[in-house]
Structure 1
Amino acid sequence: MAQEKVRARREALGRHALIRGDAMNVVRRMADRSVDVVVTSPPYNIGLAYRSYEDRLAERDYIDWMSVICAQIARVLKADGSFFLNIAGSSSQPWLPFELITRLRERFVLQNHIVWIKSIAIEETTYGHFKPVNSSRFVNHNHEHVFHLTHKGDVRVQRLAAGVPFTDKTNITRRRHAIDRRCRGNTWFIPYETIRHRKEKYLHPAPFPVALPTACLTLHGYDENTVLLDPFMGTGTSLVAAEQLGVRGIGIDIDTRYVCVARRRLRAALANPGSDPGPAMDIDDDRADDPP
């Protein structure tokens, strides 16, 4: 198993629920068809240094484990719900994301495949950031996958709400658009802010920016009754996005420290709407090991 079994502990913060526990055990106790949107980034199985995850299983064991969890996600996801699965391979394991998504054909339709671009070079200028690799064989990995999975492939998405303004404004009238928005497409350039120290990542090896779950929620569409689930919450980025958009979030993680960080970020977002406390908050003191 990639996660040890622990007794779940649940805490309510505003409209949200933070749960310290094993994702499988918690999700299997959730009601059928109770979640509108799932946005999550599970362990990638590429040897990242998580505190409480074993991130180097045999590939078949990892895919089996994820398949079982995703079967439970399929059960709790509403008929018109969306499951956004963020995952990446590595230079030495390039097939892993595709092996997993192929297995999930048993449960879902792959409605959209979005490429999250973290860094891009345009002519001689680089935009965004990436983690460099020291290799004479491989180029740097500057993107990850966001697989948009649905039950039947027929979920209506909010293409313009998640879109961008026209560069050529004449397209607004020529193409008969009511507003200055066009579809963003399936390549999303969402860069990280500059990170120079582990504390700026909340001591987590693989956080994603708030803009990523925000874009997923916006593409699916949301209102005050929307329920978001992140079964691998990490430091709570998806719940911060949920709070900023006014939807209800349910976040699960097995690691006590990450749940504590998520709690602090969410409390700050509740106290100061639209904010995220960022790396300046103190997450390295003894209280970070307190249970939620």
Structure 2
Amino acid sequence: MTKPRAPRNRTITLSEAERARYAARLLRLDGPVALPDVLDRTICQDVFEILDWLPARSVDLLFADPPYNLAKSFNDRAFVPLPADEYEAWLDAWLARLVPALKPTASVYLCGDWRSSAAIQRAAERLFTVRSRITWEREKGRGARHNWKNASEDIWFCTVSDDYHFDVDAVKLKRRVVAPYTDGAGRPKDWDDSAGGRFRLTHPSNLWTDLTVPFWSMPENTDHPTQKPEKLLAKILLASSRPGDVVLDPFLGSGTTSVVAKKLGRHFVGVEIDADYCCLAEKRLDLAAQNPRIQGYDDGVFWERNAK
């Protein structure tokens, strides 16, 4: 039996009626398609079935959060760890076939952890120009008696060419001022003094410590075991896409990429093999139409964790 949830638990779930309604909205491909056929749709299918059917040179931003090389269950499906060279070959098997769908100006973000990061780097370098490796703090995680607690993940930032879009002003971080320097007249120097406190807008680095992994009291939370925060996707979409651009996620999970794309005025194409996760994505898209807020992103800037 399913354990009852606490009264304040805000985890998004599906009733049987919702599951049936959202399942009717899912898309399955049986051959090559034009961009309008898949735009802003959730494709419920094994990504390996549809890789060669996506419209050519249509994607501005690829965000891929594939299964890490870990033993992990996703509903009734499980990923079994592979030897490092086999995992790298598995990455190649889908990533190389996605390249024709990317525009020459596209950016690519590939997620992994410390075990899979080297394989991701090698696979990415064969296809793209690797620009940076983002490391973000995941405060969840079990402690270890004989090792360091694993509390970070990586995202490799790549581009198809040297002609790509990056909007640094769209992803500045609002931090509290510790040393409030002033000019000769005593006025704030590179910071603002407001009723809420003293803050400075800072350039984003490739070390992200301002994210909160979704948990039971957050309205974006689902039961997906590896759900990414909406704030994380917002940083990537705002930096590396423009309004109206097309964002592709070939391992959509419970839909965070599609939801954030909708909230930020981008188009999306999401691919996910699990029907329940697809239905959760569709429900979250309906909820996004009612409330486009992204926790931690307000007034056009990202706030440090718990700053507001």
TM interval, short-chain normalised: 0.7 to 0.9
* Residues 1:77 and 2:102 are matched in the alignment: yes
Q: Distance in 1 between matches of 2:286 and 2:39?
A: 11
Shift of the 29–19 alpha-carbon distance from structure 1 to 2, 3 Å rule, reads same
Larger Rg: 2
Amino acid at match of 2:209: F
Aligned to 1:66: 91
Tell me the residue number matched to 1:274.
Answer: 292
Distance 1:148 1:200, change over 3 A: closer
Q: Which one of the candidate residues 117, 128, 140 is aligned to 2:137?
A: 117
Q: Which residue of 2 aligns with 1:44?
A: 68
- Kindly provide the amino acid, as one letter, of the partner of residue 211 in structure 2: P
The number of aligned residues is 244
Q: How far apart are the structure 1 equivalents of 2:220 and 2:282? A: 17
8 Å CA contact 2:167–2:240 kept in 1: the answer is yes
C-alpha separation in 2, matches of 1:247 and 1:14:
14
Match of 2:124 among 104, 108, 115: 104
Match of 2:211? 191
Provide closer, same or farther for how the CA distance between residues 104 and 217 of structure 1 changes in structure 2, counting only shifts above 3 A. same
Residue 130 of structure 1 aligns to a residue whose secondary structure is coil
Superposition TM-score, scaled by structure 1 size: 0.75
**Cα distance, 1:182 vs structure 2:** 3.3
RMSD: 2.9
Question: Deviation per CA, 1:96-133, whole angstroms, max 9, x where unpaired?
Answer: 21122113211011112111122xxxxxxxxxx31113
2:275 paired with 1:247: no
The equivalent position to 1:145 in structure 2, one of 150, 154, 158, is 154
The one of 57, 73, 93 aligned to 1:33: 57
Q: 1: distance between equivalents of 2:214 and 2:228? A: 13
Cα displacement string for residues 253-291 of structure 1 (whole angstroms, at most 9, x for unaligned residues) = 001111111111112212x04058xxxxxxxxxxxxxxx
Percentage identity across paired residues of the two chains: 22
Distance 1:242 1:9 in 2: 21
Residue of structure 1 equivalent to 2:15:
none
SS of residue matched to 1:9: coil
Shift of 1:32: 1.7
3-state SS of paired residue (1:161):
helix
- Distance across 2 between alignment mates of 1:218 and 1:97: 24
Note the C-alpha offset of 1:14.
Answer: 11
Aligned partner of residue 171 in structure 1, secondary structure: coil
State the SS of the aligned residue for 2:134.
Answer: strand
Looking at structure 2, the residues matched to 104 and 269 of structure 1 have their Cα atoms a distance apart, in angstroms, of: 32
Question: Does residue 258 in structure 1 map to residue 277 in structure 2?
Answer: yes
Quote how far apart the aligned CAs of 1:183 are.
Answer: 1.5
Aligned equivalent of 2:248 = 229
Shift of 1:52: 4.9
> 1:43-93, CA deviations, whole angstroms, 9 ceiling, x for partnerless residues?
00211121254312423322212112111222211111111112113xxxx
Partner of 2:171: helix, strand, or coil? Answer: coil
- Aligned residue for 2:172, secondary structure, equals coil
- Which TM-score applies when normalising by structure 2? 0.71
Does the CA contact (< 8 Å) of 1:52 and 1:254 recur in 2? no
Q: Please name the residue that 1:289 is paired with.
A: none
Cα separation, 1, equivalents of 2:73 and 2:129: 32
8 Å CA contact 2:42–2:271 kept in 1: the answer is: yes
* 1:288 corresponds to: none
Unmatched tracts of structure 2, length 5 or more:
1-25, 30-35, 181-187, 193-199, 295-308
Counterpart AA for 1:249: F
